[in-house]
Amino acid sequence: KSIRMGKASLVDTFCYFAKGELWVKNMHIAEYFYGSYNNHTTRRDRKLLLNKKELNKLERGIRETSFTIIPVRMFLNEKGLTKVVIALAKGKKLYDKRQSLKEKDDRREMDRMFKR
C-alpha cells in the first residue's frame, strides 16, 4: 500500500545472492500511514522472485564479469503487483566518484549563483 502511494525509494539500493536466491538490500518502503503498531521495518532486505534460468544468468554475470546488480525502476503492473526492473552494472572507480562529486558541487554552486 505504501508503494501504491508512491512512498518507496531505490536510492543506494543493490542486489545480492544468498543461498541461490536474489535479495534487494537498502530499498526504502515507508511505513503505511494508516497501519497499526505492527508495521514493517522500512529498510529490510526483500526477496526478488525470479525463475531458475534468470537467476543462473545473473549469477554468471556477477561471477565472470564482476558486475553488480542494481534495481533501476519499480512499478505496479495491471494486476497491482510490484515489479522491479534490475540491471547488471559496473561500479565506479575512485577517480570517477571524485569527478562526479566535483560536478555535483559545481552544479550546486551554479544554482546558488542563479538564485541570487
Query: What mean pLDDT is predicted for residues 92-115?
Result: 85
Cα–Cα distance, 78 to 83 (Å, whole number)? 11
Average pLDDT for the chain = 83
Rounded to 5 degrees, φ, ψ at 53 are: -65, -45
8-91: in CATH 2.40.280.10: yes
**Across the strands, what pairs with 87?**
70
**Across the strands, what pairs with 89?**
68
DSSP element (H, E) containing 72: strand 68-76
Q: What is the pLDDT of residue 26?
A: 86
* Predicted TM-score of the model (pTM): 0.68
Cell representation of residue 41: 521495518
Q: Which position has the grid cell 518507496?
A: 8
Q: With beta carbons less than 8 A apart as the criterion, state whether 3 and 74 touch.
A: yes
Sorted by where each begins, the domain ranges of the chain are 8-91
Q: What is the pLDDT of residue 6?
A: 75
